């Protein structure tokens, strides 16, 4: 059996043992996407989202914050039993490899689609409501079903959909449990004959690689508590390297993105509502939107879409 086959088998068994990611998905019915009028036009007329590479997301501090939290978790992990040599060796190797992983994270094919659980959020309008902001409401059940179907696509490795976690204590708890589980699997399997041909060093390196790949997934779902008002819900997509992404110009840089269809089997998008932003004061905004929607082929009848105006009293 080749080394690649052994490693693939070990990766699958490792992830099966650790189970599903510890993510949040509270009960609510609608996902809200804040965008410009040009974004609205593209989503509704083409039935697709342009999903941005995680490295090019709006908050560049997200990745830094995640690795800082993980550093705290690792420090606490070693303090639990500082005299245990196996634990100390595992952490030393983890710390060495972690710096390499944090650099490579931005090079991997990871994309994030952002929603909110709030339909009229001041913080979201402040970012997206620059004179032409709109908030599109989608059926959560149908959107998640569509996203999960991406797992059946050959160039998609994993798709996760969940709320962003802003509670730092909960973030630490999740990563601590993940690290303990990874370490325990390492201890239970390091002498298993199935992996002996890899050798001790290669086995340890592989387990830590797998653990860091799994941990880094959380970086798209952990944010600083200061962003709590965004009430964000994200779809995380990790792709294989089988096809190149698309690119779009944005604020002087070329941003990689992938196109994700949100057409249901009935060839409709699961659009339920549109909230017109607080800075759009023109009396014809709602009427113009209704008239345009009647010309679109991918939506429900305009009468079935709730069109409202933001009630936030902005004065600028």
Q: Which tens digit of pLDDT belongs to each residue from 4-13?
A: 898 889 989 9
pLDDT per position as a tens digit, 275-284: 999 888 778 8
Helix (H, G, I), strand (E, B) or coil at 4: helix
Closest CA to 40 of 221, 296, 225, 312: 296
Q: Could you tell me what percent of the chain has a pLDDT over 90?
A: 54
Three-state SS sequence of 57-126: CCCCCHHHHHHHHHHHHHHHHHHHCCCCHHHHHHHHHHHHHHHHHHHHHHHCCEEEEEEECCCCCHHHHH
Asked if residue 212 is part of any domain, the answer here is: yes
**Domain contains 239:** yes
Non-local (6+) Cβ contacts of 315 within 8 A are: none
- Supply the DSSP symbol for 148: H
Asked if 48 contacts 259 with a C-beta cutoff of 8 angstroms, the reply is yes
Q: Are 110 and 51 in contact (CB under 8 A)?
A: no
- Cα 310 versus chain centre, distance: 27
Residue 178 pLDDT class (50, 70, 90 cuts): very high
Q: Average of pLDDT values for 62-74?
A: 90
Residue 314 lies in a domain: no
In a domain, 159, yes or no: yes
On whether residue 315 sits in a domain, the answer given is no
Structure tokens at 239: 């792709």
CA distances from residue 284 to 129, 155, 276, 287, 292 in whole angstroms, order as listed: 17, 44, 11, 5, 12
Give the pLDDT score at 241. Answer: 65
pLDDT on residue 127: 80
Q: Is residue 316 part of a domain?
A: no
Residue 141 lies in a domain: yes
pTM of the model: 0.90
Which domain, by its residues, includes 68?
A: 3-309
Q: Is residue 175 part of a domain?
A: yes
Number of domains in the chain: 1
- The 10s digit of each residue's pLDDT in 76-113 is 998 887 777 888 889 888 888 887 766 666 557 889 99
């Amino acid at each position: 059996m080749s080394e690649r086959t052994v490693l693939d088998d070990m990766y699958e068994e490792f992830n099966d043992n650790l189970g599903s990611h510890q993510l949040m998905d509270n009960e609510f019915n609608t996902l809200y996407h804040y965008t410009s009028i040009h974004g609205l036009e593209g989503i509704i007329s083409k039935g697709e989202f342009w999903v941005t590479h995680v490295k090019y997301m709006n908050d560049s501090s997200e990745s830094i914050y995640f690795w800082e939290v993980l550093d705290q978790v690792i420090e606490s992990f070693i303090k639990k039993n500082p005299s245990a040599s196996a634990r100390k060796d595992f952490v030393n190797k983890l710390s060495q490899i972690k710096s390499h992983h944090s650099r490579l994270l931005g090079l991997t094919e990871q994309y994030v689609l952002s929603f909110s659980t709030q339909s009229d959020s001041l913080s979201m309008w402040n970012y997206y409501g620059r004179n032409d902001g709109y908030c599109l409401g989608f059926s959560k059940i149908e959107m998640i079903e569509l996203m999960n179907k991406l797992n059946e696509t050959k160039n998609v490795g994993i798709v996760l959909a969940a709320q962003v976690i802003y509670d730092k204590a909960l973030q630490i708890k999740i990563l601590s449990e993940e690290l303990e589980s990874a370490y325990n699997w390492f201890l239970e399997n390091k002498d298993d004959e199935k992996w002996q041909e890899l050798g001790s060093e290669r086995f340890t390196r592989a387990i830590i690689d797998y653990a860091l790949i799994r941990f880094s997934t959380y970086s798209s779902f952990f944010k600083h508590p200061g962003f709590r008002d965004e009430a964000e819900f994200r779809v995380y997509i990790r792709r294989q390297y089988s096809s190149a992404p698309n690119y779009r110009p944005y604020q002087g840089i070329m941003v990689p993105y992938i196109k994700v269809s949100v057409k249901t089997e009935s060839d409709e998008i699961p659009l339920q509502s549109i909230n017109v932003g607080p800075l759009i004061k023109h009396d014809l905004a709602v009427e113009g939107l209704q008239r345009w929607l009647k010309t679109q082929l991918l939506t429900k009848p305009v009468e079935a879409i709730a069109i409202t105006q933001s009630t936030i009293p902005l004065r600028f």
